[in-house]
Amino acid sequence: MPIIPIRIINLSANPLPAYATVGASGMDVRADIASDIVLQPLQRMLVPTGLFMEIPTGYEVQIRPRSGLAIHQGITCLNSPGTIDSDYRGEVKVILVNLSSAEQVIRHGDRIAQLVVQQVEKAQLVVVEEIDDTHRSSGGFGHTGRQ
């Protein structure tokens, strides 16, 4: 597996995102906030990280939820996976939502999401009058049943 160098500026006091294990595909990213954020049930908020990245052309960084936050606190990421494009140079921020029935607190340094680096393929759209039919055809949204 190739290692892709990504230039990063860290304006937070937090450590850089890092892989927790040798087999991990995502790097945990932490909240960079001056005071605690209290997320009410169903409330969403944009949480800063203090990170700025220069992602190489042909790649993206996806922001994905952390499973521990989801199962234990009911906190997940909206717009998931979120995409950080290679030409974006602003601060990395994470859209968190509280799906639990109780308020949840986010503190400075909490691991709030994970970053996954992905290669991006470009497509060329070709306008045609018809497209090939398949067995599935236009079936979608659970058309195969609950088995």
Assigned domain for 89 exists: yes
- Helix, coil or strand: residue 99: coil
Provide the percentage of residues in the chain whose pLDDT is more than 90.
86
pLDDT greater than 80 at residue 147: no
Q: What is the CA radius of gyration of the chain?
A: 19
Residue 11 and residue 50 in contact, taking contact as beta carbons nearer than 8 Å = yes
Assigned domain for 141 exists: no
For residue 35, what are the CA distances in angstroms to 31, 70, 83, 96, 98?
Answer: 10, 22, 26, 16, 18
What is the structure's pLDDT at 138?
77
Angstrom distance (rounded) from CA 47 to CA 75:
12
pLDDT greater than 90 at residue 145: no
The dihedral over CA atoms of 34, 50, 47, 107, expressed in degrees to the nearest 10, equals -40
Q: What is the mean pLDDT of residues 12-33?
A: 96
Residue 119 and residue 83 in contact, taking contact as beta carbons nearer than 8 Å = no
Range of the domain at 40: 7-119
Residue 9 and residue 50 in contact, taking contact as beta carbons nearer than 8 Å = no
- Per the model's pLDDT, the better-predicted residue between 134 and 94 turns out to be 94
Assigned domain for 143 exists: no
33-77 pLDDT tens trace: 999 999 999 999 999 999 999 999 999 999 999 999 999 999 999
Assigned domain for 18 exists: yes
Assigned domain for 76 exists: yes
Classify residue 81 by its DSSP letter: S
pLDDT greater than 90 at residue 2: no
Assigned domain for 137 exists: no
CATH of residue 44? 2.70.40.10
Number of domains in the chain: 1
What is the structure's pLDDT at 139?
73
Assigned domain for 93 exists: yes
Lowest mean pLDDT among 14-23, 41-50, 104-113, 135-144: 135-144
Q: Please provide the average confidence, as pLDDT, over all residues in the chain.
A: 94
Assigned domain for 1 exists: no
